[in-house]
Amino acid sequence: MNGTTIHLVDDDAGLRKAISRLLWAEGYDVRAFASAAEFLDACHTGEIECLLLDVSMPDLDGLELQRRLVRSGATVPIVFLTGHGDIPMSVRAVKAGAVDFLTKPVDGYELLEAVRAALVQSGVDRNDREETSRIAGRFSRLTPREREVLEGVVAGKPNKIIAAELGTCEQTVKVHRGRVMEKMGAESLADLVRAADRIGALKKLAVCKAG
């Protein structure tokens, strides 16, 4: 067993059993659920590496579950399973972050390939979250004045202009700028801009969640 757990949500008991057997044979652990509500009650989305999700289910369908996960900020690699999917539906799902969209009856080889792709995406997402967390931690150590200088620098403003806007001297801005670079772990302006972009995305997400 490789220890990786695949989550499966489908209201068809026979299909859950068949897919679970296929995944067990490949060395995966499986947690299977008969409904989206059951899945949400039992799982912490931050720990899910691959979700096999039926599209058509009573009460809360797969596409609505995906929308809820996206709104919550969860990055869950999803492989959709459907008995009657159409192209517009699959396009919407993929645009919202789905890894694949498979039509039932699902071919075993295609399913395993989609699971592997989802696990690769999960690793990428995990690394991205860890990097974002590191950057947020560095940003939290900046003083209010250093954050003001950071905003000016990433906006492309010269030290002289930043100094005038903050009511200080250019040399002081240079000192703050150096400290910002050091605290943010940035070796270049490009590094600093990328870090600031991540901080900006975090702020937008916080606003969306609050709303």
* Each residue's pLDDT tens digit, 98-119: 888 888 889 999 999 999 999 9
Would the pLDDT of 204 be above 70?
Answer: no
pLDDT, average across residues 9-32:
95
If 0-12 CB within 10 Å is exposed, 13-18 middle and 19+ buried, where does residue 85 land? middle
Q: Which residues contact 52 (CB under 8 A, 6 or more apart)?
A: 6, 7, 8, 9, 10, 19, 78, 79, 81, 111, 115
What whole-number distance in Å separates Cα of residue 26 and Cα of residue 44?
Answer: 24
Would the pLDDT of 203 be above 60?
Answer: no
* Each residue's pLDDT tens digit, 25-34: 999 999 999 9
**Residue 205 is which amino acid?**
L
Please spell the DSSP secondary structure of 159-202, one letter per residue: HHHHHHHHTS-HHHHHHHHHHHHHHTT-SSHHHHHHHHHHHHHH
pLDDT, average across residues 138-164:
92
Confidence class for position 170, pLDDT limits 50, 70, 90: very high
Whole-prediction pTM value?
Answer: 0.73
Residue 194 dihedral angles phi and psi, to the nearest 5°: -65, -40
- 100 within 8 A of 117, measured Cβ to Cβ: yes
If 0-12 CB within 10 Å is exposed, 13-18 middle and 19+ buried, where does residue 6 land? buried
Give the strand pairing for 100-103 and 51-54: unpaired
What domains lie within the chain, and their CATH numbers?
5-127 (3.40.50.2300), 141-210 (1.10.10.10)
pLDDT, average across residues 56-71:
88
